[in-house]
Amino acid sequence: MYCSTCGAKKSGKEKQCSVCGKVANVKSHEQQVKPIAVLKPVLIIWLVIVRYLVVQINMTFVGGALGGVIIFVHHLFYAAPVVSWQPFFYSALFFFCAVPTVAIFIHKRTYDLTRYVFFSEHLEYYEGFWNVERKIINYQNITEVELKESFIQRLYHLGSIHVLVPSMNGKQSGILIADVKLPEKAYHFLQNVIREGARKS
């Protein structure tokens, strides 16, 4: 935590700043430092549907057969009249619609909660739906920046930027800034920010 008057670091329990002596509101580092830019990924819904098409087809047949058998046996056990093909058809229809719906929902929530925040000296990465992840990368630790634009991404003026940093085992690691708008501008902006941050460090 930091003093809102002089900016000195202080613990959350201290009501009075030990440096300036002022009793002031304590703000976090993120509240005091204004981001230079914030990037958010853009979801291409039809691409998610295509990506899960094989899973959708498999689940339609497997889920339809399994669900149909369960429903059919249930109706036989209770001696309820049922057309032989109905349980299989409705079970298959359920899985055919459920797979892309769930996939789109999960991807949309993940993209909505993902953001890349650029500060003057570091980059913060937030992602979270099932698993919450947060990373902070100092610009002076970045060894390489890669810009990738697939054919489909270019159709929507999107691209992905791979930020690489050295890891403990000597291999490259980092984050993937995926599916952002105007990737070339973001790429050059990131390079300039990295140079400026490295110059200050």
Last residue of a domain, one of 90, 110, 130: 110
Average pLDDT of 117-146?
A: 83
Do residues 14 and 69 share a domain?
no
pTM equals: 0.67
Looking at the structure, do residues 120 and 102 belong to the same domain, yes or no? no
> Residues 67, 100: one domain?
yes
Distant-in-sequence, close-in-space partners of 193: CB < 8 Å, separation ≥ 6: 36, 118, 120, 139
What domain range is 168 assigned to?
Answer: 35-41+114-200
Q: How many domains, in total, are found in the chain?
A: 3
Mean pLDDT of the chain: 79
Is the pLDDT reported for residue 128 higher than 60?
yes
Residue 153 near residue 159, CB atoms below 8 Å = yes
Do 104 and 118 reside in the same domain of the chain?
no
The alpha carbons of the chain give a radius of gyration, in whole angstroms, of 26
For residues 122 and 192, membership in a common domain is answered with yes
The most confident of the ranges 49-53, 130-134, 185-189 is 49-53
The Cα–Cα gap between 127 and 31 comes to: 19
Which position has the higher pLDDT, 19 or 102?
102
3-state class of 128 per DSSP?
A: strand
Q: How many residues are there in the chain?
A: 201
CA–CA separation, 97 vs 16, rounded Å?
59
Is residue 77 domain-shared with residue 130, that is, in the same domain? Answer: no
Domain check: are 6 and 57 in the same one?
no
Burial class (CB in 10 A: 0-12, 13-18, 19+), 149: middle
